[in-house]
Amino acid sequence: MIKNYIKIAWRNLKRNKAYAMINITGLSLSMACGLLIFTLVSYHFSFDDFHPGRDRIYRIVTEIHNENISHTPGVPPPFAKAFRRDFTFADKTARAVTFGNELISIPSSPDNKKFVEESGVACVEPDFFDIFNFPLVQGDKKTALSAAQSALVTEHIAKKYFGTVNAIGKVIRVDNKTDFTITGILQDIPLNTDRKSEIYVSDLSMKDLSEQVANDNAWGDISSETHCFIRLKPGIGPATVEAAFDGMKKKYYANRPGSQKALVFKLQPLSDVHFNPDYNGYADKKYLWALALIGVFLIVTACVNFINLATAQAINRSREVGIRKVLGSLRSQLFWQFIVETALITLFALVVAFGLAQLGLPFINSLFKTELTLHLLGNQLLLLCMLLVFLFVVFLSGSYPGLVLSGFQPVLALKGKLSQKNLGGFSLRRLLVVAQFAISQILIIGTIVIASQMHYSKTSDLGFRKDGIVLLPVPISDSAGRTRMETLRNRLASVSGVENVSFCSQAPASDANNKMDITFGNRPKPELWSVNIKCSDQDYLKVFNLKLAAGRNLSRSDTLREFLVNETFVKKLNLSSPEEVINKTATINGKKALIVGVVRDFYNYSFRDEVDPVALFSSYPQYQQCAIQCSLLHAKPALASFEKIWNETYPEYVYSFQFLDQAIARFYELDDIMLQLI
Closest by Cα among 299, 277, 282 to 36: 299
Give every CB contact of residue 3 below 8 A, 6+ residues apart in sequence.
Answer: none
User: What are the pLDDT digits (tens) for 550-565?
Assistant: 999 999 988 889 999 9
Strand partners, 122: 98, 200
Predicted pLDDT at 419:
52
Per-residue confidence (pLDDT) for residue 14, from 0 to 100: 65
Higher pLDDT, 110 or 403: 110
Q: What is the pLDDT of residue 134?
A: 94
Per-residue model confidence (pLDDT) at position 642: 92
Kindly state the average pLDDT of the residues 166-178.
90
> CB atoms < 10 A from the CB of 301, how many?
20
Average pLDDT over residues 522-529: 80
Q: What is the pLDDT of residue 128?
A: 95
Q: Is pLDDT larger for residue 368 or for residue 422?
A: 368
Mean pLDDT value of segment 120-126:
93
Domain coordinates of the chain in residue numbers? 2-47+284-450, 54-279, 469-663
Q: Can you say whether residue 330 is alpha, beta or left, with left for phi > 0 and alpha for psi between -120 and 50 degrees?
A: beta
Contact 30, 298 (CB under 8 A): yes
Q: Give the SS3 label for residue 294.
A: helix
Percent helix, strand, coil in the chain, to 5, is 45, 20, 30
For residue 413, CA distances in Å to 5, 9, 323 come to 21, 20, 8
Question: Mean per-residue pLDDT for 178-191?
Answer: 94
Length reported for the chain: 678
Residue 426: the pLDDT is: 52
**Element (H or E) spanning 412, and its range?**
helix 410-415
Q: Hey, what amino acid is at 632?
A: L
38: left (phi over 0), alpha (psi -120 to 50) or beta: alpha
Number of neighbouring beta carbons within 10 Å of residue 389: 22
| Bridging pattern class, strands 90-99 and 69-72 | unpaired
| This model's pTM is above 0.85 | no
Tell me the H-state helices in 147-237.
155-162, 206-209, 211-214
Closest by CA to 561, choosing from 531, 525, 585, is: 585
Distance CA(412)–CA(117), nearest Å, equals 77
DSSP string spanning 313-334? TGGGGHHHHHHHHHTT--HHHH
Whether residue 539 contacts residue 621, with contact meaning beta carbons closer than 8 Å, is answered with: no
Top-confidence residue, 621 or 476: 621
Residue 414: pLDDT band by 50, 70, 90 thresholds? very low
Which range, of 66-75, 323-332, 397-406, 485-494, averages the lowest pLDDT? 323-332
How far apart, in whole angstroms, are the C-alpha atoms of residue 601 and residue 404?
A: 66
Look up residue 92 and give its amino acid: K
pLDDT digits (tens, 9 = 90+) for 634-646: 788 899 999 999 8
Flag whether pLDDT at 102 surpasses 90.
Answer: no
Segment 383-392 long-range contacts (CB within 8 Å, at least 24 positions apart): 385/35, 385/38, 385/42, 386/35, 386/350, 386/354, 389/31, 389/34, 389/35, 389/299, 389/350, 390/343, 390/346, 390/347, 390/350, 392/299
Per residue in 302-329, pLDDT (tens digit) is 888 777 776 666 555 555 655 565 555 5
- The percent of residues above 90 in pLDDT, for the chain, comes to 35
User: Does the pLDDT value for residue 628 go beyond 70?
Assistant: yes
For residue range 152-171, what is the model confidence (pLDDT) as tens digits? 999 999 999 998 888 999 99
